């Protein structure tokens, strides 16, 4: 148990960190600015500049892969971390080498590429000029995604534009089969809390 060290809590929405003691219920700390649950990034976390979207995406990818920023036993240093967003796949491959079984399942042409599919929706900018991304790749309105709901991955169409392709305040999910997106009576709104992933290519 780490005590006396200030933890760095990150809000991936605001791209900001807030310092605080380790709380008893660390998952429930909310961002003072946007009220999104924040993430404890550890004691050694150095926050990127607030406007540096790529560095924040890098940090988010590392967090989603389970990499945190606590001092390592022995050296008391945070350990090696990739410098740029582009370095993340190679870094994760080094930290988590694929098992022999996973290597057998990979298509031959993707042997050297780690392509995480699952992540959380990130909003860039504010309504009405906002855009959305998943794992650093822009999600267009109507794009095919998968959404984790009730223990399974459901094919959805991601909708963030309304009639006349006008921006709408909140993105939502519509059911999808094959390439067709179905207009259902009640849209299900999506937030940064939902688990989303890109469909298998
Ligand atoms: Zn926030």
Q: Which residues contact 161 (CB under 8 A, 6 or more apart)?
A: 141, 142, 167, 168
Ligand 1: distance of its center to the CA of 66 in Å?
21
Ligand 1: distance of its center to the CA of 133 in Å?
17
Ligand 1: distance of its center to the CA of 94 in Å?
31
Kind of pairing between the strands at 180-181 and 131-134: unpaired
pLDDT reported for residue 56: 93
Work out the end-to-end distance of the chain between its first and last CA atoms, rounded to an integer number of angstroms.
42
Query: pLDDT category, 2, cuts 50, 70, 90?
Result: very low
Mean pLDDT of the 16-20 span: 86
pLDDT of 54 above 50? yes
Please state, in angstroms and rounded to a whole number, the distance separating the CA atoms of residues 116 and 100. 18
pLDDT reported for residue 111: 46
pLDDT of 113 above 50? no
Query: pLDDT category, 107, cuts 50, 70, 90?
Result: low
Number of CB atoms found within 10 A of residue 116's CB:
15
Residue among 101, 97, 100 nearest 114 (CA): 97
CA torsion 51-52-53-57 (nearest 10°) is: -140
Mean pLDDT of the chain: 79
pLDDT of 112 above 50? no
Ligand 1: distance of its center to the CA of 31 in Å?
5
Full strand arrangement of the beta sheet holding 39-40: 16-20, 7-11, 39-40
Ligand 1: distance of its center to the CA of 106 in Å?
37
Between 183 and 160, the higher pLDDT residue: 160
**Cβ pair 44, 33 in contact under 8 A:** no
Helix (H) or strand (E) holding 60: helix 53-64
Task: Give me the helices (H) in 33-141, please.
Answer: 53-64, 88-95, 100-105
Helix axes 53-64, 88-95, angle to 10 degrees: 20
pLDDT tens digits for 57-91? 988 888 877 776 766 555 555 567 888 989 888 88
pLDDT of 30 above 90? no
Neighbours of ion ligand 1 (CB under 5 A): 11, 13-14, 31, 33-34
Ligand 1: distance of its center to the CA of 35 in Å?
6
- Kindly list the domain boundaries of the chain, sorted by start residue: 7-78, 118-197
Ligand 1: distance of its center to the CA of 11 in Å?
5
pLDDT tens digits for 134-180? 988 899 988 889 998 888 888 888 989 887 888 888 999 988 877 67
**Cβ pair 43, 72 in contact under 8 A:** no
| Whether this model's pTM surpasses 0.85 | no
Question: Which residues make beta-bridge pairs with 144?
Answer: 157
**Cβ pair 167, 148 in contact under 8 A:** no
Please state, in angstroms and rounded to a whole number, the distance separating the CA atoms of residues 76 and 108. 40
């Amino acid at each position: 148990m780490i005590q006396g060290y200030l933890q760095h809590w990150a809000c991936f929405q605001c791209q900001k960190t807030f310092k605080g003691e380790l709380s008893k219920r660390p998952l429930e700390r909310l961002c003072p600015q946007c009220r999104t649950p924040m993430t404890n990034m550890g004691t050694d976390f150095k926050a990127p500049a607030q406007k540096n979207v790529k560095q924040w995406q890098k940090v988010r990818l590392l967090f989603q892969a389970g990499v945190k920023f606590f001092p390592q036993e022995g050296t008391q240093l945070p350990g090696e971390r990739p410098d740029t967003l582009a370095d993340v796949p190679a870094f994760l491959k080094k930290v988590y080498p694929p098992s022999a079984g996973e290597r057998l399942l990979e298509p031959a042409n993707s042997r050297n590429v780690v392509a995480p599919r699952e992540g959380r929706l990130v909003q860039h900018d504010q309504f009405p000029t906002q855009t959305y991304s998943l794992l650093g790749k822009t999600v267009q309105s109507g794009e095919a995604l998968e959404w984790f709901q009730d223990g399974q991955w459901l094919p959805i169409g991601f909708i963030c534009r309304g009639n006349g392709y006008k921006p709408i305040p909140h993105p939502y999910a519509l059911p999808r089969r094959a390439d067709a997106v179905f207009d259902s009576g009640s849209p299900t709104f999506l937030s940064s809390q939902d688990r989303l992933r890109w469909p298998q290519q």
